[in-house]
Amino acid sequence: MKRMGKGRLRRHTARNVAMIACGSALGGALAGAVVPALAFDFSISGFIRHEMAIKLSDKENQADGHGNPFNGQEVPLEPLGLNLSTLTGVNNLLTSVGLPALTTATQPLFGSALTLPPTGYRNVRTASNDFNLMATRIEVNMAAAIDANWSARVTVRGYYDWNAYDDNTKDLDMFETQFRDGGGGTPLEYAQDDFMIDVPVATVDYTNGPLFIRAGNQQIAWGEAIFFRVMDVPAGLDYRRHMIFEPAIEEYGDKRVPALGIRASYQLNSDWEVEAFIQKFEPTIYPNLSTPYSVVPDQFTVHERYKGYADDLWNVGGRIRAQLGNLGLQFIAVSRHNPDGVYRWTKSGVNKDLPVLPGSGATLAETPFEVDQDKGVKSQEEWFWYANSIRLDGVQGLNAAVDDFQPATGALTAYNVGASDALARGELDTFFWLSGGLRGHIERLFPYENVFGASVNYVFDGEPGSFLEQLIGRVEVTYTPERTFTNPTLGQDFIKEDQWAFAAVFEKWHRWSQEFPAAYLVLQFMYKNGSDIFDVGTRHLSGYNSTSTTTPTGVDYSAAIAFAGFQPSPSLEWKFEWAVLYEIDGGWLFQPGLRWKPNDKWEVNLYSNIVVAPENGRSAMTVVDYVDELALRVTYQF
């Protein structure tokens, strides 16, 4: 059965419905026979919850247009690497190519492009938000025990976002995806701009002694992670509702993407169990562009290569588990398509001319760029600032866009700059000047991979009342041979590298005094090579360790430590929770929280997310450094 996340409490109200079979029309033959009743138990429960996150700082999400640090700035451009910031500089350029000098600077010459002196002016308003989140959800859970062998479950979830955000988007699209008709992220979801309705669970279960089978739409949870996922590989995550900033102690309980499939387990004996699944592939769902927690800068257009590409794929996997006294063992093998996906440049397909080159639109459509004078990148400074922010290589990213889309890029006079930072900046400023702003186009694909893993856990027998009593130690390791990673250049050739992920976990229930119930404590360490601890976009670590003025030199690994837990009050009415994540390379996430449950119907959860991540080019937390918020959830359960 699916294990519910810690902190989510359910109350089930059961009622019995009797179904009595009557005698058939052939009553003469069956007259007087006693027909047994077929009874099944039906329960329904759920909750209504209002969720909000109040900003505690004036930082805005830099991935959103309204949070772009270049808004309202006149950034001097240097086309061809020349300083044309003065009329003298412009005239030197004109006379060098045999054109007459100007007596006054003309601005603009071609609409908002080709300004003299050249500037990349981003005419976009910077917003000031009070909220990161303002939403209401309702969830209804229905379960039926049909007989001793058969049961069924259905969960219906509705989520409405009130769009209480100060942004520059007329119709902010919070939930629609490109994955399927109706905008849903999964087959049993319907989504529009401000709401989604889905069925994350719709299963039929069969149990017969040691055999258990579950078929239908389901979430497969193999991990028990605080922030980290090592063994939890069957499903991707849905980040649309509150990114990763719900209470960490709930262990992604609301995040795993459901999918149609069959899962079966068999208890071989009292010690050993085997399990296997086959499930339709469903990708990780990232927040849409311009939404409060978006992770892709909205100077990009993302083409999701799922519908018509990967929508008929299936994942398969299995695991073997054993409990040998105090020793627990687990071995997994999963053949899947990476749900997080990888990104690369793709043709824009947008036929829009460069203002100074009429008829150039058809050629430009064969490149990864389109003219966008409203939301596009305006200067090489902006290009390199964002490349560093999302851990890409600004120089080689330009080269990949040029080399991988010949002859169209060559026809527009774009060229490979080699390793020259100066030439890259000059070429970029030339095209930003000629266009007035460019938008980049990227695509997400879902490469195939095999994941193998093993874990060992041990329950320590310490002295009664000691800290070692019932302490659980666990080590998890996964190996993915030849894993595919996003190249920091966004080039067509992805990076392939064997990946290892390792986690060491210690957890226990510990009673500090007789006056208080036991506290739950968990300490975790995680190490991963290839990509960072969050795996967003499967970015390769070779794009790390840079600044907006230096190219990345990369790092060898990503590592972090997390400490979390909760302490109930003596009456169990209150519960203090905490979670702290520390990246070895400098990023911090603090998440203190308090739950109040005055009765079995109401619950109030107040918690905060505080991110501290210095910009040293090494921290994965830097991209969410704007998330300083106070979150509140008020829940009514029925």
Q: Which residues does the chain have with pLDDT short of 70?
A: 1-39, 85-91, 93-115
Which residues are paired to 565 by β-bridges? 521, 578
Whether a cis peptide bond, with omega within 30° of 0, leads into 117 is yes
DSSP string over 273-331: EEEEEEEE----BPPPTTSTT--S-TTEEEEE--TTTTTT-EEEEEEEEEEETTEEEEE
Within a 10 A sphere around the Cβ of 204, how many other Cβ atoms?
Answer: 15
Residue 3's pLDDT is what? 36
Angle at 219 between CA 215 and CA 225, to 5 degrees: 145
pTM > 0.75: yes
> Which residues on adjacent β-strands are paired with residue 438?
371, 377
Q: In terms of DSSP H, where are the helices of 329-378?
A: 361-364
* Beta bridge partners of residue 331, listed in sequence order: 320, 454
Closest CA to 550 of 355, 385, 350: 385
How far is 289 from 68, CA to CA, in rounded Å? 13
Per the CB < 8 A criterion, the answer to whether 527 and 574 are in contact is: no
- All structural domains of the chain, each given as residue ranges with its CATH number in brackets, are 46-65+128-344+445-637 (2.40.160.10), 66-127+345-436 (no CATH)
> In this structure, what token pair is assigned to residue 174?
């919070």
Tell me the one-letter amino acid at 437: G
pLDDT for 333 equals 98
Residue 493 CB neighbours (<10 A): 10
CB neighbour class for 181 (10 Å; exposed up to 12, middle 13-18, buried from 19): exposed
CA angle centred on 121, ends 118 and 127, rounded to 5°: 170
What is residue 387's three-state secondary structure?
A: helix
Angle, CA 534 vertex, CA 332 and CA 453 arms, to 5°? 15
Q: What distance in Å separates the CA atoms of residue 582 and residue 4, rounded to the nearest whole number?
A: 26
Query: Residue 130 has which token pair?
Result: 């009070």
Residue environment code for 154-168, b if the CB has 16+ CB neighbours within 10 A, otherwise e: bbbbebbbebebebb
Backbone angles phi, psi at 258, to 5 degrees: -75, 155
Neighbour tally for 455: CB within 10 Å: 22
pLDDT reported for residue 465 = 77
Distance between alpha carbon 208 and the CA centroid of its chain, in Å? 38
SS3 363: helix
Write down the pLDDT at residue 310: 96
CB–CB of 607/577 below 8 Å? yes
